[in-house]
Amino acid sequence: MKKTFVIFGATGDLTKRKLLPAFYNLQAENRLPETFEIIAVGRRDFDSELYREKAAEHVKNHSRNKPRPEIWNKLREKIRYLKMNFTKETEYPQLFEALRGTELAIFYFAVAPEHFETITVNLKNKLPKDFGVRVVIEKPFGHDLPSAASLNKLLSDSFGEENIYRIDHYLGKEMTQNIHFIRFANTIFEPLWNKDFIEQVQIISSETIGVEDRGNYYERAGALSDMFQSHLLQLLSLIAMEKPENLDTETVRDKKVEILSALRPLTPEEAENYLVFGQYSGDGNIPAYREERNVSETSETETFLALRLFLNSERWRGVPFYIMTGKRLPVKKTEIIIQFKKFPSPYDEDLHNLLVFKIQPEEGVYLRFNAKKMGVTDEIVPVKMDFCQNCHIGLNSPEAYERLLDDAIKGDSARFTRWDEIEHSWRFVQGLKEHKSKLHFYPPFTWGPEGAWEMIKRDGKHWFNSEDEDENL
Ligand code: BG6
């Protein structure tokens, strides 16, 4: 079956940094279909030859594996450039002409969200009926609940829900997928996975970069819509979901939806004390957020967010989930920390166990437990059982986009989000937006505003985000 992958936005950043390198690595592993073509759609005045030359550079710069000519040449032959203005209806016939002979067209919307609708309408109106269609759509899926709902209606009326692949690239990350395995393939964790044994859950996702050249988009999104609504709520749903009866895509998604619909809206008092918005300031060398390109000098957009939330669920009654995310923080890292409850022990009262999912950059999981210090002493010391997946030399795990492109080509939608997941996420986020009041500033490369620390201290806890973990754990 001839499959054709059409990239709208073929000269954009996402294509350069993620999609082309991902295709290269799929080619290297012989994972692309026999008869496969990539049509790179862009407005620039390139021809296929020039585009391929540029693509080779992007692969060289961004691929996790050093490109080998014999592999690149195989991929190169599959790439064709189509100069086209996708906002003009009159330019679509040339695309349909280029698709002649294909049996399945996969359209990837790697463009700014304001173009999603135009492309959909133009495709829908004229799309020939002689081949199957899938649509892969990047986040953000809408900018609030009404806009997401209207985009969803347009997409599902045009292509059918089963043909829509909504990307959340965190679902393609190696350790995100491993959450299921660790929870459901081990006797020692699942029986303890509830309010009786778990004291708290923290999800911390920090970045050192600022907003870079995405000011236009970020001004409207902020940390709440950019990271929290999508990636972090997805991680939360995987950590908190009930055990599915089987691993069918829809069964698993149903369980995730149960959690996303159980997010308890914050009361005004909770919002006052447990919802902190921050924005990075500058320090002379590093520009403040308000000094970034395409950002207003008086911007109120948050680049940092910390909050505490609870789930309306029997399993999690009373267990706080603390979430922190931000740009221009001291490290690039995403971790999920599960702290188990203390129990009556003849030893020191401060003993506790931790299970930490290291999503990135290190991929792995570790269990912190207590043991006797070696020697003639009865002292207890915390020790770690640490499994690091990508620490071995020569092991470099596939990028999220490799897996997601492979899935979309094969027609496996398990690692993509279903509409109702997005719907419930936006509903919760909408509530948080309504509580947004003060914005606190924080210097670059610090762990956000004071308020984030006071918030958790109030509960007698601390963030597990130290660079020197042993000191903090
Ligand atoms: C994107 C956000 O979805 O995820 C960015 O729009 C963010 O703002 C990025 O930088 C983080 O992804 P990763 O894989 O680098 O953690």
In the chain (473 residues long), the average pLDDT of successive 10-residue segments reads 96 95 97 95 96 97 94 97 96 95 96 93 88 94 95 95 96 94 94 96 98 93 96 98 94 97 97 97 96 97 98 98 98 96 82 93 93 86 89 78 97 96 97 93 97 96 74 45
User: Any idea of the CA torsion for 113, 117, 120, 125, to the nearest 10 degrees?
Assistant: -160
115 and 212 in a common domain: no
- The pLDDT value recorded for residue 395 is 67
Task: For a ligand 1 pocket test, name from 176, 205, 227 the mutation site with the most ligand atoms within 8 angstroms of its C-beta.
Answer: 227
- Going by C-alpha positions, the residue among 303, 137, 337, 330 that lies closest to residue 227 is 303
Kindly state whether residue 411 falls inside one of the protein's structural domains.
no
Q: Look up 440 and say whether it is catalytic.
A: no
264 and 120 in a common domain: no
238 and 176 in a common domain: yes
Number of folded domains that form the chain: 2
Kindly state whether residue 119 falls inside one of the protein's structural domains.
yes
The CATH number of whichever domain residue 95 belongs to comes to 3.40.50.720
Rounded to the nearest angstrom, the distance between the alpha carbon of 205 and the centre of ligand 1 is 10
| Listed residues 92, 114, 138: the one ending a domain | 138
Does this model's pTM top 0.85? My answer is yes
Kindly state whether residue 287 falls inside one of the protein's structural domains.
yes
Count Cβ atoms below 10 Å from residue 162 Cβ, excluding itself.
Answer: 10
Of 115, 231, 424, 440, the catalytic one is 231
332 and 194 in a common domain: yes
User: For tokens 């080619």, what's the residue?
Assistant: 27
Question: What is the C-alpha separation between 69 and 211, in angstroms, rounded?
Answer: 35
Q: What share of the chain in percent tops pLDDT 70?
A: 98
193 and 134 in a common domain: no
- The pLDDT value recorded for residue 467 is 54
Kindly state whether residue 22 falls inside one of the protein's structural domains.
yes
Kindly state whether residue 131 falls inside one of the protein's structural domains.
yes
297 and 193 in a common domain: yes
| Listed residues 89, 121, 138: the one ending a domain | 138
Kindly state whether residue 261 falls inside one of the protein's structural domains.
yes
The CATH number of whichever domain residue 321 belongs to comes to 3.30.360.10
268 and 380 in a common domain: yes
122 and 207 in a common domain: no
* 142 Rama class: left (phi>0) / alpha (psi -120 to 50) / beta: left
Question: What is the C-alpha separation between 140 and 392, in angstroms, rounded?
Answer: 35
Pocket of ligand 1 (CB under 6 A): 139, 207, 226
Residues 370-386: tens digit of each pLDDT: 998 888 888 888 899 99
Kindly state whether residue 228 falls inside one of the protein's structural domains.
yes
266 and 194 in a common domain: yes
Task: For a ligand 1 pocket test, name from 169, 211, 213 the mutation site with the most ligand atoms within 8 angstroms of its C-beta.
Answer: 169
304 and 191 in a common domain: yes
364 and 307 in a common domain: yes
Residue numbers of the domain that contains 430 = 171-397+417-472
243 and 118 in a common domain: no
- The pLDDT value recorded for residue 473 is 46
Rounded to the nearest angstrom, the distance between the alpha carbon of 86 and the centre of ligand 1 is 26
Kindly state whether residue 147 falls inside one of the protein's structural domains.
no
